[in-house]
Chain A
Amino acid sequence: MTHNTMLMEFDQVAYTYPCSPQPALQGISWQIPQGKRCAVIGQNGCGKTTLFRLANGLYRPQRGVVRFSGEPLRYNRQALSQLRRQVGLVFQNPEQQLVATTVEEDLSYGLCNLGLAAREIEPRVQQTLQDFELTPLADYPVNYLSLGQKKRVAIADVMILQPTLLFLDEPTAFLDPKQTRSLRQLLDRIQATGTTIMIATHDLNFVYDWADWVFVMNHGQLIMENTPEDVFCQRHTLEDLGLGTPILVDVLDAIAHHTDDQGMINQRTIQASLRGLNQGIPSENV
């Protein structure tokens, strides 16, 4: 793959939190391809969040280089402000990102920081309110929103700047199935505008369903990257990493195993084998 199709690149990046005995990232190298739906999976503490914060210029790598569109990141105020306009980051906890008191004011915050005039801000805020179905909540105080709504606002806050690369840290955490579905539709619409999306998540079913490219991390290192089909067929590696496989992959495997020569499927043995499988796997929302 050539340089110009890679939106962001990490080259031998290492980062250790202050006062922490272990490095969060140990010389990781990876590249985010443009236009793909990317997902990072890995256990808690494997360095996903650190990676995202490095990408947003919130942390500075102690070793190695982060490149955006081929250019190494610079850490002065102006360059960072420019970077954060193009690389959006949605935190896991929306509470940490909502700063103003009403939805509309919160949306305008990022635009005001760019020093835009009110007549430029207004149409963009109105458009974003519409795109994210937030118009009825425009003048609503942020405190009284539900968690799902807060998440929606947090994503809208970042998307209003029209970034080319969007990082979402655990977007499905705390969401119910219906909210997760509407998040998916939202992501599809965002992707349709040409934004590359990168998600860190524990929800393997979501990854299998949504992503085109999957990164697997462990202990601050990139273990593998591939299409979801190729990643999830490596059952043993994933189980060693404590990750397991999406339920659909399990079912397909079980069907393949328990189909006899005549092509008959024995449902009972399939169910028994699936139950056995799920016991060994850290709980996934089935």
Chain B
Amino acid sequence: MAGSSGNAIDPIHQFHINNFIDLDIAGIDFSFTNASLFMVLTVAVASLFLILSTNRRGLVPGRMQLMAEMSYEFVASTLRSAAGNDAMRFFPLVFSLFMFVFVANLLGMVPYFFTITSQIIVTFALAMLVIGTVTVYGFFKHGAGFLKLFVPSGVPGYVVPLVTTIEVISFLSRPVSLSVRLFANMLAGHITLKVFAGFVVMLTGAGAVGIGAAIMPLALTIAITALEFLVAFLQAYVFTVLTCMYLADALHPSH
């Protein structure tokens, strides 16, 4: 994230996608890029951590195994409290989403690493996966009864059209809000970090006074780095919680 290219301090540079291995199928570019590399890395880090830490299958967990178990129980209790026990069939999906987003966010905190969750297409695809699951499962389980989601019970007849319109719009805006929230948080955080870190570099280049003045942006950079670690977790958590709530709609459409 803090990698500056040459002399120019360009906060947008870190989001550029570079092809590593060109791959062209039917005129469409499917190249293996730095984004692809970090997707692979995210999956590898998360999987290796979870598999190696639980390899011992200790009755009394070690530190690593405890972390794996805690992440399991954390996501499980989030899902159970938001959508009930019958939502546990979606547990693998929710857990995968949480771990993928969380590890991707954390990897993005490593200098020079690419942040895949700062790409709107990635977050949007994940959000569409959630909404698609909700919609398909909702209609599969309840048939037309799933449409009751848009008609809240106990609403007087004359406001039903208005409420239904609002419900439909809110349902359609879910993938947008879900994906933009994660994308914008990661993007903005990394740009801010880069800008303040850039100030430090620029000021230290301006002589003794500049080095003294650079303390301020340096302190801010440190503070924002800490904040970004919090955001990395928080956004993964928010994404997970919202996923759970949407899944609750698929399971129990009449609210």
| Bind each other | no
